[in-house]
Structures are given as structure tokens and as C-alpha cells.
Chain A
């Protein structure tokens, strides 16, 4: 086997393909390679815009070792910067907080506007002399990271080289165009996180397919059987699953969440759950949506950030809490699976496994996407050598 031949096996049709082998889950070198090939060079999910709801809100985020700063500027635009001063590379903001005026470096007090401009460089030319001909403030603003917001998710392209988000995800944006309307985060009670001992890709793989539903989520069997689901997949783009029998949450008086406006009949009982490669899992239903940002903490640890959204800014608190608990229960049921598969990747010689040609194609679609990206980067690296 050459260095890359096994990736060609991953890229075979689903009925003959193998999954990504162990190294992609347990080898630190491969993890670092994938950080570049699958995350930094793509549009990766970083946070949600609701994390910085007001002007001046700033949230530092360590993304795979990269110190980033999420802010909402004076024009209410959400921006992402490298969270470092252009002077000595000091971390600018340590904790989430409101920036009342400027972002002031705690080291030598260089000050930046929320728009990233370097505003002042105190004493840079000596005591009380705040300018120097060698320091061109126009060239020393905060380094902005390319970002794009869709479904309230803040996606970032760290290396700045990816095609535009709207072009890459044009098919999915069109598929879900009916949900292109205001989404209102339910607030503190509509966010929870799960700290899971797994490689981030296994969370994607599990989310993509409905095969596991009757076994891992038996509570769904009474109303949402396996045959009520369908695969969603577009090679090289996205994959997931849909259901024909979405049932709205009902309160004690049969109340429901208000629907999104002008949805077609498809969504009366339909719902779809899609993995936006690499690390964002989205779900859309007639009365709420959710976004899961998978934060890869390390090779075998992932924090899942789950955010729930509604069609109206004000919804019933008790209903929101009930809905959040419902989803938390479902996602917690998946934890033993993704952790079990992670531990399973330590079995020497495991070949990545074989897929159900019928039920696993959304997962295979994701593996194929990963393998293609990695092959491209390895080929480019070899060509450069």
C-alpha cells in the first residue's frame, strides 16, 4: 500500500469502499494534517452570531490552537479576527466581555477599533510620542479571518483560499431556501454542549445516517420508523437524512411553537438533518431549527455546541426548555456510539469498515469528501517537493 492508495479505496463506490482507517482517528500526525486539509482550508463552523448578540460583544475562541476573536462591530456586523496584537503577538481578549471603546492590548496598550483599525500606539516613538514614521497604522490593523454567516452559524476559512461559501454550498442553500428567513436563538435555555471523547469526524458520520435510529434512539420507533427516513447526499457537497413524519412538540394545552412563514407542504411533516462539511450539523423543521458546531478539541475529544432557533423572538419559556431537553436526550443517546467507535479505532488492523450500500451512503459521502481533500493536499505537497 502506498501512502495514499488506501484513500482511493475510500473513494470507491459505497458497496465496495472502506471507511477511513484507524490513523484518521488515532494518529496525531494525521489529525494535524486534517486540521489543514479538512478544517483550515475549508469553511469550518466556529460559533453562532448569537454568541455576540450586541454591539461591542467580544468572545475569544481557541479554534484548533488558533486564537480567534469573535466580535460584533459598531455597524452590527459580526467579524472574526486573530486574537493577537500586531505588536508582540499578545493575546488581546482573554474572556468574553463587552468592548466599551477600543480593544486595548493588555501589554503595551496598542488600541484597535472593533472594525480592526489600529487606532493608537502609545509611546511608540518614545514617552508621550505616539507616532513613529516606521509604524504605519494603516498596515497594522487586526488580522481579519474570512468569515461568512449562514443559518446564524459563523463559518471561517482560516487559510483564506477557499471558494466563496455561497458558491460551495449553493445546492444546500437552494434546497433550504424556504428557511432563508429570520432565525431567533432561544437564548440561554436553548444552548447546551456535550463534551465527548471522540474524534470530530465520528460525530459527523453518526449524524449523517438514519441506520442507527431504531437501535440507538428506540423512542423514535413509535412514530418515526426507519422506513420514514430518506438519505440526503450530494457527492462532494453535503449529506444527511430526512424524515417524512416530523411531529411537533406539544405543550400541556396542545400548544406548539409558531411555524416559520410561507413554508411549502413538504415541511408539514417533513424535516431534514444535514452535515455541512466539515463540522456543522444542521436540522430544519417547520417550527424550529438547530445548529451543532463540532469543536475539535484534540484527536479524540470533541465539544458539541448545540443551539436551538425559533421563528419568533419570543416563545414560551417552558416549551423551549422542554424542546432543549428533548434534543439533549437524543444527542446524549449518541454519545456511547461515537465514543465506542473512537475506542474501536485502537484495534490494530481495522480497515475502516464496510458500509451498508443502502443505509450508509451519507456517511460514505462524507468519507469520500474527506479523502478527496486529503488526496488533493498530499498531491500538491508531493508536487512541491
Chain B
């Protein structure tokens, strides 16, 4: 993960901007090198999408489910 993305994630957490965290964690997932890291971040994106009622929740769920990471 780039320093910039890491910084933006920390800032979003600091201001409890959970809507922003959905996209930021999705971005983190897309630049991860390992499978576990990819789905770790994608899980976080999905959970914050669930939490906030974000429209990407069903898309993220589908990605996780397709990878056998979610039911």
C-alpha cells in the first residue's frame, strides 16, 4: 500500500468517515500483493459498506463470495 493511501486511510478513520473507508479499503485491496491481504482489505471495505448502507455493499459481497471468502 502506498504511503499516500495509508495516510488517507488513517485520516478517514480519525474522522470516522466510514463512507470514505469503503472506497479506500477497496483501493487498498486492489493494490495488495498477496491473496490474504487483498481479501483482508476487501473485507474491511465490505464491512464498512454494510455499516453505512453503502451502495457498493452487494458488489463487494459478490466479490468475496466468489472467492469463497464470504457466504
Contact = CB atoms under 8 A, between A and B. Distances in A.
B20 to A, nearest CB: 14
Contacts of A137: 71
A111 B53 contact: no
- B36, B41, B50: which has the most chain A beta carbons within 10 Å? B50
Interface in A128-163: 128-131, 137
B35 to A, nearest CB: 8
Contact of B70 (A100, A104, A127, A130): A130
B26 interface: no
A101 interface: yes
Contacts of B43: 122-123, 128, 130
B5 interface: no
A217 to B, nearest CB: 50
Interface of A: 100-102, 104, 109, 111, 119-120, 122-123, 126-131, 137
Contact of A111 (B35, B36, B51, B69): B51
A133 to B, nearest CB: 11
B49 interface: yes
Contact of B50 (A111, A126, A131): A111
A122 B51 contact: no
Residue in A102, A126, A127, A130 whose Cβ sees the most chain B Cβ within 10 Å: A130
A126 B41 CA distance: 13
Contacts of B53: 100-102
Contact of B47 (A100, A111, A126, A127): A111
Interface in B27-71: 35-44, 46-47, 49-54, 57, 64, 68-71
Looking at chain B's contact residues, the main secondary structure is helix
A132 B38 CA distance: 19
A127 B41 CA distance: 9
B24 to A, nearest CB: 16
Contact of A109 (B40, B47, B57): B47
Nearest to B44: A122
A102 B70 CA distance: 16
Interface in B2-22: none
Contact of B52 (A100, A120, A128, A130): A100
Contacts of A128: 35-43, 69
Given A127-B36, A128-B40, A129-B39, A120 B50 contact: yes
A96 to B, nearest CB: 17
A127 B35 CA distance: 10
Nearest to B32: A128
A92 to B, nearest CB: 12
Contacts of A123: 40, 43
A126 B46 CA distance: 16
Contacts of B39: 127-129
Contacts of B57: 101
A90 to B, nearest CB: 15
